[in-house]
A and B are shown apart, each in its own frame.
Chain A
């Protein structure tokens, strides 16, 4: 029987993972006395996200039938009010695809697309589909939700592969709104838990043209602890 699952990491990726493991082991004691996420753990997270970005680019390439490549990635700690800057200027019309992360860790993933980018992508996604009127609009919105689902799940799969934790996305929620509104919910939710959150931002290119898709991955503080333990092989698959 054939099972189609994500390709295993390449030798290069495995090497990078091993380096990450060793590095994470070395910083364990030091980290205990520091803030929850040090610069070092951000670097480890970037390694994981780099793999997630490759998975996501592969998924987008298949969906859009055009080459998508990850061109930039950064993980950083931001104050809660700074979440707004991630979503764009406050009066900018954006499409957000958000979903909660459940399973063995709790968090949120939010993908933010400027309206023009969303239109460009949905036109491609609907190519060859004979749809009209309300049905076309329904499928158009769903196509963007599915795109966000594929991108976000790719990152969760990468974190899961390394931590051994099962991280499941909830059904995605899509909204077309001002950027400020899109980030309000996250600010309220995480503001009640912590002063700072870790945001992973990724930029892609579609056939050599910049593709303005911003992706933020946020986990609750306790979940980060569990994920980092998983990276070190403490309770996760290792």
Chain B
């Protein structure tokens, strides 16, 4: 079981992702509505994985990803966004995102990404 921080500016998507990850036995340890909250909650909650939107008010997910990876080089972040564009995807990769799920987030895609990331963490001994 992994502890997940869910970051999205819409409550609907947070509910959807919570249902998906809990159906696979994981725990949602916290939720955030923008990048600033995400950074704060990452530091206090120390989740195993972050599932984070890109387009959010105040601070977007890519900027938050950069901050989180600077704080913890082992942070595992899955981007979950409606933006399925190569340039955005490549920027997320360069900033250290582990995986990328295009919205709407289906259970299959989210759980596949989650298992892949958790396997990688296990292999690295994180």
Contact = CB atoms under 8 A, between A and B. Distances in A.
Task: Please indicate whether A and B come from the same complex rather than being unrelated chains.
Answer: yes
B116 to A, nearest CB: 5
Contacts of A166: 85, 87-88
Contacts of B121: none
Contacts of B103: 59, 146, 149-150, 153
A4 B11 contact: no
A125 B103 CA distance: 14
Nearest to B120: A1
A210 B82 CA distance: 25
B89 A157 contact: no
A161 interface: yes
Contacts of A3: 89, 99-100
A138 B88 CA distance: 29
Interface stretch (A77-85, A88-96, A167-175): A167-175
Contact of B84 (A6, A129, A135, A171): A6
Interface in A6-40: 6
B9 interface: yes
Interface in B49-89: 55-57, 81-89
Contact of A4 (B55, B98, B101): B101
B102 interface: yes
B13 A146 contact: yes
Indicate the size class of the contact surface on chain B.
20 to 34
B12 A150 contact: no
B50 to A, nearest CB: 16
A59 B104 contact: yes
Interface string A147-183: 0011011101100110000111111000000000000
B109 interface: yes
A171 B55 contact: yes
Q: Which of A2, A135, A143, A154 has the largest count of B CB atoms less than 10 A from its CB?
A: A2
A59 B102 CA distance: 9
A143 B15 CA distance: 10
Contact of B113 (A2, A131, A167, A171): A2
Contact of B112 (A4, A131, A161): A4
A170 B82 CA distance: 11
Interface of B: 9-13, 15, 19, 55-57, 81-89, 98-104, 106, 109, 112-113, 116, 120
Given A62-B106, A161-B85, A166-B88, 9 more contacts: A2-B116, A5-B100, A6-B102, A62-B104, A142-B11, A153-B81, A160-B86, A166-B85, A167-B85
18 contacts: A1-B98, A2-B112, A2-B113, A4-B101, A5-B84, A135-B11, A139-B15, A142-B11, A145-B10, A146-B10, A146-B12, A146-B13, A149-B103, A150-B103, A153-B81, A156-B83, A168-B88, A169-B83
Interface of A: 1-6, 59, 62-63, 125, 128-129, 131, 135, 138-139, 142-143, 145-146, 149-150, 152-154, 156-157, 160-161, 166-171, 237
